[in-house]
Structure 1
Amino acid sequence: MKNVIVVGGSIAGLSAVRALRAKGFDGQITVLDRDPVAPYRKPELSKGILSGRIRPEDIAIEWPADLGAERWHGAATAVDLHRRRLGVEVDRASLQLPFDGLVIASGSEARRHPTYAADAGVHVVRTLADATALADEVALAAAVVVVGGGFLGLEAAASVRHQGKPVTVVEAGPALLGARHGAAMSGAVADLHRAHGVDVRLAETVDDIELVGGRVAAVRLSRSGTIEADLVIWSTGATLDLGWLNGIPAATRDGVLCRPDCSVFGLEGVVAAGDVARLYNQRFNVSMRVEHWTNAIEQGTAAAATLLGRGTPLVSVPYVWSHQFDHKLEMIGCPGVAETSGVVRPDGGGLIVEFRRRSELVGASSLAAGKSLLAPYRAQLMRHGTSRSLQPDPADRR
């Protein structure tokens, strides 16, 4: 292998390049990325940039010059696996780049409002450009509506409240954070936001966004009428741009199907990492796609090893954290496969929810529980080792 192309220059792609060089690969590496300023610490976009607590330069990650990777700003358009060529669009020019190895680390994009965009006052938070443009508008806003009660939407709501702005969170489901965190945790997070002045509307959808002079003036909800607002943060999930993979069977609408070592089913010399990778997790015996920072680092590193013929199954215990006002919210493991959950209240206060499949611990989440979650629960989850090594069918579209 002499020529590797990495599609995606954020943390999954950077981790893959670092690992390739660390493991002795001395061939050509070309990195292709849509974002002209990547990489940077994306978790800080909604946690810090939006609140005004940190500046864009504070989250920049300098691409190490000693990695010897050629970085291009552009997009993949097609792949020819027979000829080992990647079609790209760079500076309005269409090119064909040869490769021996391919790392798919193209990440995800924010799901946007079907009609209105930032120029009308309807914003998403996915890139640094998104966050800085939104931060400027938050400073001038009179009232803000956040559509979506997941991690990102709630972080955005907390950041807006940090600046003293009225905020309404509109969540289509019956609980914040979805069912996977359990009723106790979802309720505690809702109570926390309400205590800080956030108007939380559950089981509500947006029927319409009303404009005056081309800008947001109000949001009409399905059940509780109209809310006056001049800014909307649309946080309803992410989409994957996989059209360039030309109908490859492993590229589904919900991720690229991978083996436990990050190799893509049916494709020799092709690996995937980060948001885009649907990886079979042996620890929890489930195919899963994880859109979190630590996962991208782990998979980027593992994918590089596999590309060089030194891969081993990645035994991963997913972890994600969030700041909700002055409290830390953490989740570890795979609550989505749980059959039961139970509440634990540690001596130091706060809340912990444990998730079990039969009698086996499969995950935990905590709110304001100090250091009581990460270390002991991660150790316990890892100590159980791997579940039986089942291989998912490449035709599986779950």
Structure 2
Amino acid sequence: MDRRSFLRKGALGGAAAAAGSALAAPAIAQETPTVTWRLTSSFPKSLDTIYGAAETMANYVKGMTDGKFNIQVFAAGEIVPGLQAMDSVSNGTVEACHTASYYYWGKDPTFAFATAVPFGLNARMQNAWFYYGGGNDLMNEFYANYGITAFPCGNTGAQMGGWFRKEINTVEDLKGVKMRIGGFGGKVMEKLGVVPQQIAGGDIYPSLEKGTIDATEWVGPYDDEKLGFYKVAPYYYYPGWWEGGACLHAMFNKNAYEQLPEAYKVALQAATQAANSDMMASYDAKNPTALKTLLAQGTQLRPFSQEILDACFKAAQEVYNEIGSSNAQFKKVHDHIFAYRNDAYGWWQLSEFNYDYFMMRQQAAGNLKL
């Protein structure tokens, strides 16, 4: 082939390629449309870790779609009150929300399983159940009744048992205590004489300060310090047996989600999983320092007594049985997740627990200091 023939053919090939690119561009554009969603959070901006998980997710989605898919994040109260976030997604007011599923357990107790239930799973077990144990499919089957698709988007880890104005040493001491406690835990506490209150995060401190409530639980040292509970309720109890690994969710209007290009759906799933991991790591990094600060400010750490824990465990089983006897969907999820719980703790006691227990003894003996 002579040089001129090669150049002619090369030029024709280049023109054809350019024409092909011009023809392909509209098709690509159609596959990656510009989409803007609004997401309402159940949390105030001041709680940067728990609120921030939604922003983390939104930033990942934007990056993975070259800025074509934008999710605008709004704090609780900017569009709807924090405890109405899911309703606003269900009715199509907004396309998405970031919330705790158990806030809506009054509509159906089944909602609670997606966040945390008394004496349930720890954070890693939650992830295993959602991602590999069929939990996410099971919950989305339930959420479909409300026009929602959801994915885990953050975890707090095991929470603290809350702040009390007075010491709580026996079950008798719980009677008559007005306590802000979210979700399923309140129903169990009610059996022991506690008067549960469901109050959004930003409204807890004023209620505690005014004496409208006698106690409150929220998350753990980092958030609790920010909210200032130690100033009006000095006794800080542990563990938060109703939230062994509280999972937050990004919820999406089902119709809006299903209309997305497949690539955007994948971006959402990947971004929620990344935010889920990021939030847990953030709390694990921040809580130890925050706890030291709280103790320096006079916080009194107290464990729930064995009597109280045993009574709460018994009350929880009663509540599960009562609800399960009349709610088939609840019983279906209950039996599924707790069958996994039994096997998971069988493994955990051999591996994680024994390792952690040994290391905690070394820490208590001062052997981990540099």
The alignment's TM-score, normalised by the length of structure 2, stands at 0.27
Larger helix fraction of residues: 2
Q: Which has the higher contact order (CA 8 A, sep 6+)?
A: 2
Larger gyration radius, structure 1 or structure 2: 2
The alignment's TM-score, normalised by the length of structure 1, stands at 0.26
